[in-house]
Amino acid sequence: MTFVDPLAAPLFADVAGDIDISFEFFPPKSEKMEAALWESIETLGPLGPRFVSVTYGAGGTTRDRTHATVARIARETGIPAAAHLTCVEATRDEVDAVAEAYWAAGVRHIVALRGDPPRAGEKYQTHPGGYENAADLVAGLRRLHPFEISVSAYPECHPDSPSKQADLDNLKRKIDAGANRAITQFFFEPETFLRFRDDAAAAGIDAEIVPGIMPVTNYAAIQRMAAMCGTEVPAWLGRLFDGLEDHPAARQLVAATLTAELCRKLYAGGVRQFHFYTLNRAELSYAICHLLGVRAKPGAVAAAA
């Protein structure tokens, strides 16, 4: 029997490319940003994502732009498009009308979210006549059409939840209401996700739980986002980005290395689905997917010319 030293193998040699990927974008605010978005879709589309999702601003502030972006993806590409939809500042009838418009546009996948308060720092309140929360929204969507439905999950607990157990109970309500899967908030330690996955299973949640992966392109921005969503930023992350403020290319290299290593460790823990928060930029997500063994799929269709 030949002994193989595991340390002698190249760093991603054990990653076979047998994973499913998906990507998240946000609706563009200008023609320049729209061009960048479609360039990213053209780049990432050939990797054969299961779906790409488009976010929805607080209080419906990007409702029209989100709809236009998702409808165009559905119309001009072969990529399944998923639209974010929230409960914020809208009645049930208004939310249902948005969902119906998505269905009419050929969109069959909704990312159903409670949503954040429209003004930072305010406590969330159910809109009069609106859906109470994400579980209520999932049930409402199920009454309309046979949508595929994804919901959110928080490995480090939602900031509004009184405890981790209460947060798991809320996730179970969303799954029991009819959601197909949960996509997590971003995190930086593999153990954070793996422990959460085990806790969810112990709580009776048997739906697919997909890790949300956020490559760090801007450390200061990540700190702000993490503070809002309750994600812990480990001290070692700050040390690795210290001094790179004026070196964007170096930041990209460090970000790709760190994120790919996070994904490799998740892969070793049995994870085979990954959802990438792209921030409408393709380079990092493409590089990370490549390291994980994902290649362009024959016949995969990206954006139309």
Can 24 be counted among the known catalytic residues? yes
Q: Which two tokens stand for residue 168?
A: 């798991």
Spatial distance between the Cα atoms of 182 and 175, rounded to a whole number of angstroms: 8
| Element (DSSP H or E) covering residue 69 | helix 63-76
Spatial distance between the Cα atoms of 152 and 136, rounded to a whole number of angstroms: 14
For 115, the 3-state DSSP assignment is: coil
Q: What sign does the dihedral 96-100-102-106 (CA atoms) show? A: positive
Q: 84, 111 in Cβ contact below 8 A?
A: yes
Spatial distance between the Cα atoms of 72 and 242, rounded to a whole number of angstroms: 40
139-171 burial: b if 16+ Cβ within 10 Å, else e: bbbeeeeebbbbbbbbbbbbeebeeeeebbebb
**Which among 24, 100, 156, 191 is annotated as catalytic?**
24
Which positions are annotated as active-site residues? 24
